[in-house]
Chain A
């Protein structure tokens, strides 16, 4: 696609925002790479991110209170207002997403609300609406739709959702996960959504009411 290196020097501009974004990206990536709890160079522990592995398919309302890396497929709603959501390069989300920060390496179709920022990276693709005060698109990333970069619009959208944080599931009762999240799946038969692998990640994205869900470190995924 676009090759920034071939553009004239005059075209190069540094917004300053990328540097700040990169710091968070590294932290997020580090958190997603392995059993987190590794201390960073500064001594503070890198926050652990739960992982939805590549073979996991979730239909429904996904809520959580921890950072999440999605390498699988999620259809429905994702609500993580205070946390970071990363859509990995294998991840595909067709959903309305509410999060603090969102990093897209994979594919997202739907409306995306990021109270802090949304970053579409070089392999990322987003089709839909993004509402966030800070939005960036890396070279190679794809976006089609509408971007709303207005804090008031973000507050309005997030405020609406925060008013009903426990409004329940779309399908069936949910149960709390070991790490605070919940997945209310169930619009797809268990046989369709059951998976045998969690994608080799650490952490857990909570429990599921369907047959799919994230799994803990080194284990087989929740399946039928």
Chain B
């Protein structure tokens, strides 16, 4: 769990999450959050009749990324452990947060392959990608959802490192077959916010 996350940044505005949430208003809330559950996030969801999964797998997936390439069997087993079993009702939104900064392209392919059977047709994936020259935190930050368009980002201790990937929308679609770019927004903090959609 995110025990070392003790340094919240100032509030992070999200331009695309409101769009994603409004889709859920129409279709029913079913959200898979790959980060840890926090009191504020649970309170946010409590205002909606919803189903939300907390995988708390950011660090685990980042660790996998550090060891990539892995033996395919081991990678499959690790992904099975890190990502929740497929629910009776599929997820309509997956919150990736900053995970895309940590996973190499080949791992992204395996990642979406594991995730896809648990997703509804047309499900969205939301995440941020570092595009500027700045470093990324040593561990993936955790997020709290304070409002539809407002987040709190918790960065853990440790020396930052260069963002190795800086995926463009084109790269994301290449490494995640069947996923298309729904919206994208360049932010002032040299990060790009992505809303991706599963084909179908």
Which A residues lie at the B interface, using CB under 8 A? 1-4, 6-8, 10-11, 13, 15, 17, 134-139, 141-151, 153
Q: Are A150 and B46 in contact (CB under 8 A)?
A: no
Q: Are B48 and A149 in contact (CB under 8 A)?
A: yes
Q: Which of B2, B39, B40, B51 contacts A146 (CB 8 A)?
A: B51
A151 CA / B39 CA spacing, docked (Å): 21
Q: Does B190 contact A (CB under 8 A)?
A: no
16 further A-B contacts with Cβ under 8 Å, apart from A15-B46, A144-B1, are A2-B5, A7-B8, A7-B152, A8-B11, A8-B152, A13-B146, A15-B43, A17-B43, A136-B39, A136-B43, A137-B39, A137-B43, A138-B39, A139-B39, A142-B37, A146-B84
Q: Which of B1, B46, B49, B146 contacts A142 (CB 8 A)?
A: B1
Q: Does B70 contact A (CB under 8 A)?
A: no
Interface centre among A17, A135, A149 (most CB of B within 10 A): A149
A-chain residues with CB within 8 Å of residue B38 when the two chains form the complex: 2, 137, 139
Q: Which of B6, B10, B37, B146 contacts A137 (CB 8 A)?
A: B37
Minimum-distance CB pairs A-B, first 10:
A143-B37, A137-B42, A146-B53, A150-B49, A7-B8, A15-B43, A148-B51, A144-B56, A137-B39, A139-B39
The interface size bin for chain B is 35 or more
Q: Are B43 and A1 in contact (CB under 8 A)?
A: no
B-chain residues with CB within 8 Å of residue A1 when the two chains form the complex: 1-3, 5-6
A34 CA / B41 CA spacing, docked (Å): 35
Q: Are B39 and A4 in contact (CB under 8 A)?
A: yes
B-chain residues with CB within 8 Å of residue A144 when the two chains form the complex: 1, 36-37, 54-56
| A11/B42 contact (C-beta < 8 A), A144-B55, A146-B84, A150-B50 known | no
- Quick one: closest B residue to A146, CB to CB? B53
Interface centre among A8, A135, A144 (most CB of B within 10 A): A144
Report the minimum CB–CB distance from B52 to chain A (whole Å). 5
- Quick one: closest A residue to B91, CB to CB? A146
Q: Are A136 and B2 in contact (CB under 8 A)?
A: no
Interface centre among B37, B39, B45, B56 (most CB of A within 10 A): B39
B-chain residues with CB within 8 Å of residue A6 when the two chains form the complex: 6-8
A153 CA / B144 CA spacing, docked (Å): 26
A-chain residues with CB within 8 Å of residue B36 when the two chains form the complex: 142, 144
Q: Are B54 and A143 in contact (CB under 8 A)?
A: yes
A-chain residues with CB within 8 Å of residue B6 when the two chains form the complex: 1-3, 6
Report the minimum CB–CB distance from B105 to chain A (whole Å). 28
Q: Does B73 contact A (CB under 8 A)?
A: no
A-chain residues with CB within 8 Å of residue B11 when the two chains form the complex: 8, 10-11
A1 CA / B154 CA spacing, docked (Å): 10
Q: Which of A11, A136, A150 contacts B146 (CB 8 A)?
A: A11
A151 CA / B36 CA spacing, docked (Å): 24
